[in-house]
Amino acid sequence: MSKKELRIGLVGVGFMGRTHTNGYKRVSDFFPDLQNRPVLKAVCSRTAATVNAFAEQWGYESVETDWKSLVARDDIDAVDICTPNNMHAEIAIAAAEAGKMILCEKPLSRTLEEGRQMVDAIEKAGVNNTVWYNYRRLPAVTLAKQIVASGKLGRIFHYRANFLQDWTINANVPQGGQGTWRLDVDAAGSGVTGDLLAHCIDTAIWLNGSITDVSAVTETFIKERVHQATGEMQKVGIDDACIFHCHFDNGSLGLFESTRYARGHKALYTFEINGEHASVRWDLHDLNKLEYFDHRDESIVRGWRTIHVTDGDQPYMDKWWVPGLSIGYEHSFVHQVADFLKSLETGEPCSPTFREALETQKVCQAVLDSAAAKSWKGVNEY
């Protein structure tokens, strides 16, 4: 069966440009029944040498150094935004107006206002869209969704999550520039709240429903850093660490923490959900496993059990190897490409859509405002 080509235009060649391109290259090999096949049509980055090297290494047919030229091309069907957050809105709005499908890295936007403008443009254009909250698409996290949705846990009382890293603890890490734009509030919009807690919030909303109000505290431990654009010391505008608690619409309580000053943790993302009958927990460091505890088990076998999510009847795993053999972080992006391509066949949205990701943006804004005001903030105020 001949497949329809989906001609991809990638903007941005950093860490996420690589994870997304790997997804485009692998998907048709492992999801052969899909009717659309991604084609690496064009890649864009500001510097000719950089983008040519990336295109050569990864197999893009052509290059652009101006994203506006890429968006205007009639041989591009889908624009994939892998730039710093301050460029998401202008590229997405232009791409939507050009009738392109759009895949956008998280978080949706630098600010809530920009996010609203993006959603308006996308919904006016009626183009397919998704935001790369990739952790949803690890098999163990998708299985957690299936378990919670089945009602096995019973009434939910608690949701807790953390995302701990340590890479900004060194005062010599600059703000701005390639790889450290996440420390520049003008490029990123916020620090760990929009970068890491956004993942935790998206997963939490997906698994446990909407968040109604938040109370937060943030801290910026290193107050000044050299800005790469000027070489001068500049006040730091991002949150280095954030802790918040919240109410969910279903009556449960939430507790979230993130920092990039946690020695001993490179990327510790965990969540745990406690229900009246059972609990489930997951840890990115052991991403193929889900821990489950069910109080209803007979006492002789009652305890935390480890589900090694590799069986063919568990999410996505029939596409890979044989039971017992694990997959990795990069497969979450292959799965999101597969689900996006499937959505083109079914007409169903590929979650999270821009509209759904706007909810996460609202919670992030409420968290930042709560910390600044030292008071509770209702998410519905946004």
Smallest gap from Cβ 355 to ligand SOE, in A, equals 20
Residue with tokens 């790997």: 22
Say how far apart CA 54 and CA 150 lie, in whole Å: 44
The CB-nearest residue to ligand SOE is 195
Size of the site for ligand SOE (CB under 6 A): 3
Cβ closest to ligand SOE, residue 15 vs residue 304: 15
Of 274 and 288, CB closest to ligand SOE: 288
- Which residue lies nearer to ligand SOE by CB, 266 or 277? 266
Minimum CB separation of residue 267 from ligand SOE in Å reads 6
Separation of alpha carbons 167 and 262, rounded Å: 8
Residues 6+ apart with CB under 8 A from 234: 175, 224, 225, 226, 227
| Shortest separation between residue 379's beta carbon and ligand SOE, angstroms | 22
**Contact between residue 26 and residue 334 where contact means Cβ atoms under 8 Å apart:** yes
Question: Residue 275 or residue 352: which is nearer to ligand SOE going by CB?
Answer: 352
Return the number of other C-beta atoms located less than 10 Å from residue 115's C-beta.
Answer: 28
- Measured from the CB atom, the residue of 267 and 325 that comes closer to ligand SOE is 267
CB of 99 to ligand SOE, least distance (A): 28
Closest distance of CB 182 from ligand SOE, Å: 6
327 burial class (0-12, 13-18, 19+ CB within 10 angstroms)? buried
Of 36 and 86, the one with the shorter C-beta distance to ligand SOE is 86
CB of 335 to ligand SOE, least distance (A): 15
d(CA 84, CA 179): 9
For residues 282 and 139, is the Cβ–Cβ distance under 8 A? no
Judging by beta carbons within 10 Å of its beta carbon (0-12, 13-18, 19+), is residue 146 exposed, middle or buried?
exposed
Which CB atom, from 28 or from 142, has the smaller least distance to ligand SOE? 142
Amino acid at 188: A
| Residues 15 to 44 in contact with ligand SOE, rule: CB under 6 A | 15
Within 10 angstroms of residue 301's Cβ, the number of other Cβ atoms is 8
Min. distance of Cβ 167 from ligand SOE in angstroms?
6
Q: Residues with Cβ < 8 Å from 186, sequence gap 6 or more?
A: 86, 176, 237
Shortest gap between Cβ of 339 and ligand SOE (angstroms)?
Answer: 18
Cβ atoms 139, 316 nearer than 8 A: yes
* Distance of closest approach, residue 17 Cβ to ligand SOE, in angstroms: 12
**C-alpha distances in angstroms, 50 versus 13, 158, 278?**
8, 47, 51
For residue 48, state whether it binds ligand SOE (rule: CB under 6 A): no
Between 39 and 82, CB nearer to ligand SOE? 82
**In the complex, minimum distance from the CB of residue 195 to ligand SOE, in angstroms, rounded to a whole number:** 5
With beta carbons less than 8 A apart as the criterion, state whether 62 and 55 touch.
Answer: yes
Closer by beta carbon to ligand SOE, 86 or else 252? 86
Report whether the peptide linkage leading into residue 107 is cis, meaning its omega lies within 30 degrees of zero.
yes
Residue 195 interacts with ligand SOE (CB under 6 A)? yes
Q: Contact between 267 and ligand SOE (CB under 6 A)?
A: yes
Q: Which stretches of 45-173 are assigned E, i.e. beta strand?
A: 62-64, 78-81, 101-104, 129-131, 156-164
Shorter beta-carbon distance to ligand SOE: residue 195 or 257 = 195
- Residues forming contacts to ligand SOE in the complex (CB under 6 A) are 15, 195, 267
